[in-house]
Structure 1
Amino acid sequence: MLLGVVVCVIIAFIATYLGGLQRVIGGPMIGLFIGMLVANIKPPEGDFKDGTTFAAKKFLNLGIIVTGATLSFKEIVGFGASALPLIIFNIALALGIAYLIGGKLGVSKNTRTLVGGGTSICGGTAIATLSSIIEAKESEMAYALTAIFLFDIIAALGFPYLGRALALSPEQFGVLAGTAINDTSSVVAAADTFDKLLGNLSMSASGLTGGNLAVIVKLTRTTMLVVLAIIFTFITINNKRKSLAVQGINGSSSSIDDGKNESVGKIVLRVFPWFILIFVIMALLNTIGVFPESTAPFIKKASKFLVTTALAGVGFKINFKDLFTKGIKPIMLGGCTWIGLCISSMTYIFFIMTK
């Protein structure tokens, strides 16, 4: 079992290194695919498999907790606050599209939630966080991550040139990239390309470049992960409460109402994802400045490394054949939600920002 955990950690080191060589594909996604590659060459068995499962679950929760220390509600002040209405609308839009179209495609409810949340918030981090809350299967998580990854790459590579072709201002590109590209590393990559394409023209009236503004909007959007995590925590608790009440959780044939009245407290204690509470506390502590700025780079690297280790463990659960058969519909769904966000953001840019 220890060997399984160690292998996932080694994969995380390799993925982190490869992720640092370029800024389009982040280390966590590379870790997922390396885990999948190794697992399909030699499928894990016995205690080794248990070790990869341990890494997938425990390191994921720990990584989410540490991620909380990288978030700050102060990010929504200023330019980020101006994009907040669009960010909130896009979250509702992405989840709505995911549930509506995903239902027609026959995609599981958990996968729909992960695709919608990942597209609207911050890609892999949102998917990892929500998967722990809603207790999604490793396969559902992998399908959602793959769907997000493909369209994230398209956006990161194409948006800078699209912005140049459409003569977008630095503020307009900041909103487009910040709201319609998923992973933070991809936003940074696209922003850097846009700034290089425009040179001095990329400077806004506030003295920030289009790339700077894109990152500010993205950080504001990432902060909304705290809100989404809390919402789905209560949804999950309520669903569990209803399910257990119907089953007669007291071991009798008591009515649903009796089950609700007598077991709410126990149900909350049993199903509440306590790591989310610590996650929120860490975000609040970071907001009030408990963590020195000098520790921010280390905390960000630590959170990403822990999530990368977890995704390497998730990769050991995925078969390539299943990914390209059962995973096709989630990928199609990811495309639909991403296109929906692109249309929404472009509409905001040309009809709201230009007024």
Structure 2
Amino acid sequence: MTTLKNQLVFWLALVACLTPYVSSPTALVIGFLIATLGLVPHQFNLAKVTKKLLAYSIVGLGFGIHFKDALTVTSNGIGLIIATIVGTLIIGWWVAKAFGLDKKTSYLICSGTAICGGSAIAAVAPAIKANDEQIGLSLATVFVLNSLALFIFPVIGHSLELSQNTFGTWAAIAIHDTSSVVGAASAYGEEALTTATTLKLARALWIIPVAFFSAFLFRSDSKKITIPYFILFYCLAIAISDLLPQFEVVYLSLFDLAKRTLVVCLFLIGCGISMEKLKSAGPKPLIFGVTLWIGISCSSLAWLMLT
């Protein structure tokens, strides 16, 4: 009877994550609480299901990218975009070594900081064969910083009297997840919101080369590269939505569904995290994430103010 109740709680929580009332960070916390209370069914293969669902979710997100718009915005700020992405990955790699942080966990945090938070982590994780603990720690770090950015960035922007365009660009570069970018930019102004949203979606295109590069970087000792095929389908989804715009209603539905399944993925990842794993990881992932975040925030803001 107890086992049946445990399963009921687990499945009810999973279904709740499909509703708009549960956000990504909340889903991760709910999963963690259920795991802590021992309510995760033992026969449920979390790792296998999560891996497949992550791939499907990323493909679905491709239907929300307007290639022409993204390409236009990317071409306007291509130098800054490449510099921040490459710079974050390279600097993060060396800082992680100094911290003595797990290689895959630190790389996932770098990817999330460089591109688009949880979506980038979800895309890169299968390419480097990261486990649930590594994914969970990196996502938790990114979500904490996202929450802070939502309130801190508009205050800094107003105090420095940044223009709408400058703030929108800065938010798109320095804030991890698209949801937090939209939240911070909308609080600043309509023009900032338009700039930030478009530029952030443009940066999402960089998931493609980064995922392939990651697969090469983390290839096994046999030198065999695991091709992240789901990224090819992600590209196909972008192409289809761009070439056949008459089905936009369908694409938006697939995009919304992908966002909800991604929330479910975070719930399942949370179910694989325990207090013992968090204690063994220590504060290093969060300190590393904060260090990297401050670095990209300050450097990109300085560049935008000087140009």
TM-score of the superposed pair, with normalisation by structure 1 = 0.78
Contact 1:115 1:144 in 2 (8 A): yes
Query: Structure 2 vs 1, CA of residues 229 and 75 (structure 1 numbering), >3 Å: closer, same or farther?
Result: farther
1:234 to 216, 234, 259: 216
Are 2:151 and 1:169 equivalent residues in the alignment? no
Counterpart of 2:175 in structure 1 is: 181
Q: Which runs of 5+ in 2 are unaligned?
A: 1-5
1:42-121 maps to which residues of 2 (within 5 A)?
42=38, 44=40, 46-48=42-44, 50=45, 52-121=46-115
Are 2:281 and 1:305 equivalent residues in the alignment? no
C-alpha offsets along residues 267-326 of structure 1, whole Å, 9 cap, x if unaligned?
A: 56xx32322222222222223335722234312211111111222111111013432551
Counterpart of 2:199 in structure 1 is: 217
Supply the AA of the counterpart residue of 1:168: L
Q: Distance in 2 between matches of 1:8 and 1:301?
A: 21
1:144-155 maps to which residues of 2 (within 5 A)?
144-155=138-149
Query: Structure 2 vs 1, CA of residues 5 and 333 (structure 1 numbering), >3 Å: closer, same or farther?
Result: farther
Are 2:231 and 1:276 equivalent residues in the alignment? yes
Name the count of aligned residue pairs: 304
Shift of 1:189: 0.8
Are 2:301 and 1:346 equivalent residues in the alignment? yes
Q: Which runs of 5+ in 1 are unaligned?
A: 20-26, 196-201, 203-208, 246-266
Query: Structure 2 vs 1, CA of residues 76 and 14 (structure 1 numbering), >3 Å: closer, same or farther?
Result: closer
Query: Structure 2 vs 1, CA of residues 8 and 103 (structure 1 numbering), >3 Å: closer, same or farther?
Result: farther
Contact 1:69 1:286 in 2 (8 A): yes
User: Considering only CA atoms, is the larger Rg found in Structure 1 or Structure 2?
Assistant: 1
Shift of 1:144: 0.6
Counterpart of 2:30 in structure 1 is: 34
Q: Distance in 2 between matches of 1:156 and 1:316?
A: 26
Q: Distance in 1 between matches of 2:33 and 2:17?
A: 13
Q: Distance in 2 between matches of 1:4 and 1:41?
A: 12
SS at match of 1:46: coil
Counterpart of 2:288 in structure 1 is: 333
Q: Distance in 1 between matches of 2:200 and 2:286?
A: 23
Contact 1:5 1:54 in 2 (8 A): no
C-alpha offsets along residues 46-102 of structure 1, whole Å, 9 cap, x if unaligned?
A: 313x2x334312211111121222223323344443233212111112112221111
Are 2:129 and 1:140 equivalent residues in the alignment? no
SS at match of 1:136: coil
Q: Distance in 1 between matches of 2:74 and 2:197?
A: 9
Q: Distance in 1 between matches of 2:9 and 2:50?
A: 12
C-alpha offsets along residues 318-346 of structure 1, whole Å, 9 cap, x if unaligned?
A: 01343255141111111111111101211
C-alpha RMSD over aligned residues: 2.5
Contact 1:123 1:148 in 2 (8 A): yes
Supply the AA of the counterpart residue of 1:307: L
Q: Distance in 2 between matches of 1:6 and 1:81?
A: 49
Query: Structure 2 vs 1, CA of residues 220 and 112 (structure 1 numbering), >3 Å: closer, same or farther?
Result: same
Counterpart of 2:222 in structure 1 is: 244
Q: Distance in 1 between matches of 2:82 and 2:143?
A: 22
The percent identity for this pair of structures is 27
Counterpart of 1:248 in structure 2 is: none
SS at match of 2:206: helix
Contact 1:8 1:55 in 2 (8 A): no
Q: Distance in 2 between matches of 1:210 and 1:166?
A: 15
